Amino acid sequence: MITSQAASQAAEENFPVALRMLPRRYRRHLAAVYGFARSADDMGDEAPVAERLSLLDELEADVARLYRLRPRPRDEVTGASGPRGVPGRGVRGLAPGKAECPPGLIEPGGDGPRLAVVAALAPTVAECAIPQQCLLDLIQANRQDQVVTRYQAFGDLLAYCRLSANPVGRMVLHVFGAATPRRAELSDLVCTALQLAEHWQDVAEDLRAGRIYLPAEDLAAFGVTETDLAAASASAPVRALIEFEVRRARELLDQGAPIVGTLRGAARAAVAGYVAGGRAALAAITASGRDVLAGTPKPAKRRVAAELAKAYLSGR
């Protein structure tokens, strides 16, 4: 099943927010966040087309079940004896066939999460106060992918990024207990830039899936057609367009990067990893001669490490 696969793969993926240097408690929460986002993406991209919307509906219904859970009394969490406690156990088992209810939560009426990836996220929701809207926005972004395959203006694409990328950054801030309105604003800039960088790397792959994220108004401005994007290598107009879009993404990333300087310790390292990954990805596109059609430009690990050190030490 897609959801359980994503949960098991999350810890193995080399994604910037789960740097190996982070304490285990943070890695666990970040892996759960990533697992959920990956599941939503897989449902929207990899599942049979006829099943995608129903799978996303199922995921949203399970999120609703998760947020209907209420805090477990302290005696049950710790395993101490008490009016409702069970000596030696901090978790109450659910009905047969369901995922076990996580520590800190109980399910009223036996209607807790049914999907493994949502059950895996439950401790993170409870311990880090993850806003439900973040999860709903990620689901909505994948619904949008089923019906919107072209974007007329750059502003339309930014609106999509507010659903598909920005919620992840906001959840990361909650994982580290570092969420503030100003940090959320800066995080949104970073995450939007990361999403744009991924779109510019994956122009050919997205086109094969029937989607074009390059705004139609930009295609027209640079004289680029969909036929040009289907070529084996990028023409001069395509390369000029990609250079323009890379510059846009880099500007957003630079505007949001000062968030690193507002953070300390593990949070600073994790968010510096985001910034570093984005800068390295954009640099890889430039190093490829902006030919994103011949292959997906990927940054070297040494470049990512160098950008990480620079962002962490400079605070931006």
SS (H, E, C) 43-72: HHHCCCHHHHHHHHHHHHHHHHHHHHCEEC
For residue 294, the SS3 value is: coil
Q: Where are the domains of the chain?
A: 1-129, 148-316
Place of tokens 């190093």: 287
Q: What is the pLDDT of residue 212?
A: 98
Q: What is the CA radius of gyration of the chain?
A: 21
Domain covering 148-316, topology: Farnesyl Diphosphate Synthase (1.10.600)
Phi, psi of 92 (to 5 degrees): -95, 130
The pLDDT mean for the chain works out to 85
Amino acid sitting at position 257: A
Q: How far, in Å, CA of 98 to CA of 166, rounded?
A: 31
pLDDT in tens, 182-234: 999 999 999 999 999 999 999 999 999 999 999 999 999 999 999 999 999 99
Name, in order, each residue with C-beta under 8 angstroms of 101's C-beta and a sequence gap of 6 or more: 69, 91, 92, 93, 94, 107, 112, 119, 122
pLDDT in tens, 67-125: 997 555 444 333 333 323 222 222 222 233 333 444 445 455 557 899 999 999 999 99
Q: Residue 291, class by beta-carbon neighbours within 10 Å (0-12 exposed, 13-18 middle, 19+ buried)?
A: middle
Angle, CA 315 vertex, CA 312 and CA 316 arms, to 5°: 100
Helix H or strand E encompassing 106: strand 105-106
Higher pLDDT, 76 or 242: 242
What is the separation of C-alpha 272 from the centre of its chain, rounded to a whole number of angstroms? 16
| 15 pLDDT above the threshold of 80 | no
Q: How far apart are the first and last CA of the chain?
A: 40
| 171 pLDDT above the threshold of 90 | yes
Q: How far, in Å, CA of 116 to CA of 110, rounded?
A: 16
Q: What is the pLDDT of residue 101?
A: 41
Residue 183 half-sphere exposure toward CB, CA atoms < 13 A: 20
Q: How far, in Å, CA of 268 to CA of 261, rounded?
A: 7
Q: How far, in Å, CA of 53 to CA of 64, rounded?
A: 17
| 311 pLDDT above the threshold of 60 | yes
- Total residues found in the chain within this entry: 316
Place of tokens 């892996």: 31
Q: How far, in Å, CA of 89 to CA of 263, rounded?
A: 36
CB 233 within 8 A of CB 293: yes
Q: In DSSP terms, which residues pair with 70 in a beta bridge?
A: 106
pLDDT in tens, 122-166: 999 999 999 999 999 999 999 999 999 999 999 999 999 999 999
Q: What is the pLDDT of residue 33?
A: 96
What is the separation of C-alpha 113 from the centre of its chain, rounded to a whole number of angstroms? 21
Q: What is the pLDDT of residue 21?
A: 79
pLDDT in tens, 244-278: 999 999 999 999 999 999 999 999 999 999 999 99
Provide the whole-model pTM: 0.84
Dihedral angle at the C-alpha atoms of 27, 5, 102, 267, nearest 10 degrees?
20
Q: What is the pLDDT of residue 105?
A: 52
Q: What is the pLDDT of residue 10?
A: 37
- Model confidence at 19, in pLDDT bands (50, 70, 90)? low
